[in-house]
Amino acid sequence: MSNDIEQNLLHILQRIENACLKCNRNPYEVKLLLATKTVSAERIKVAFRAGQTLMGENRVQELKEKFEELKEIPHQKHFIGHLQTNKIKDILRYGVTCIQSLDRLNAAEKLQQRLEFENKTIDVLIQVNTSYEESKFGVEPENAVAFTKEIAIFDRLKIKGLMTIGLFSAETEKVRKCFKLLKEIQHKIIAENIPNVAMNELSMGMSGDLETAIEEGATIVRVGTAIFGQRIYPDSYYWNETKG
């Protein structure tokens, strides 16, 4: 079992490297984030022991359940799920250093308040709905610049870049369009020169489309299935909690 994870990791690292070589990028520019929803702490630790250091969870409940067991191995935790305002306190409690899924002013406000109270800061990425699907979270591409300006006033939030899920499709060029759009938005935001806003990170690309994402400029790829195997719950369970 742990053998599988190690093998899969090697394979993913190879895929990342090949994709980088193909587009003349340095593989060190691309971070691998382990998407660990439904994966036990024990299995996550196998990946950590194999040298991985970054994981992302979608649910606070899972952050909490795995927290104690994962503590013994140094690592970083990002939050990649839908951000519910009543869970902010817990997200901070369980050591999340970056929230990749910020897409509502109200959540940014609540986050700022809580961070002031705890005298902390946190990294954030703005999630953009590049596929325009009803079912997906994220700000609309047309609103991304305005949204960034709105939340840039919250000094406890360190804006580091953008995140998107993109379209699930076997048609690579349709998927690529989503990633290109995220890159375009990044450039637009950079051109605005907004104080308190860095745009170094583009979190995009998953098990099925990481090569395309890397070709379009991804700095973080989020990989679950290709490392840990199929999940028993459909992803909609995580992505559409409160949406139809």
CB of 209 to ligand PLP, least distance (A): 8
Q: Least Å distance between CB 80 and ligand PLP?
A: 4
Q: Which is nearer to ligand PLP, 137 or 147 (CB)?
A: 137
Q: Which residues bind ligand PLP (CB under 6 A)?
A: 35, 37, 58, 80, 165, 206-208, 222-226, 235, 238
SS3 content of the chain, % helix, strand, coil (to 5): 45, 20, 35
CB-wise, 58 or 112, nearer to ligand PLP? 58
Cα separation, 202 vs 214, in Å, equals 10
- If the CB atoms of residues 206 and 214 are measured against ligand PLP, the closer one turns out to be 206
Query: Rounded to the nearest whole angstrom, what is the least distance from the CB of residue 160 to ligand PLP in the complex?
Result: 16
Give me the least distance between CB of 79 and ligand PLP, in Å please. Answer: 10
* Residue 126, token pair as written in the block: 């703005």
* Residue showing the smallest CB distance to ligand PLP in the complex: 224
* E strand residue ranges, the chain: 31-35, 54-57, 76-79, 96-102, 122-127, 157-163, 197-203, 220-223
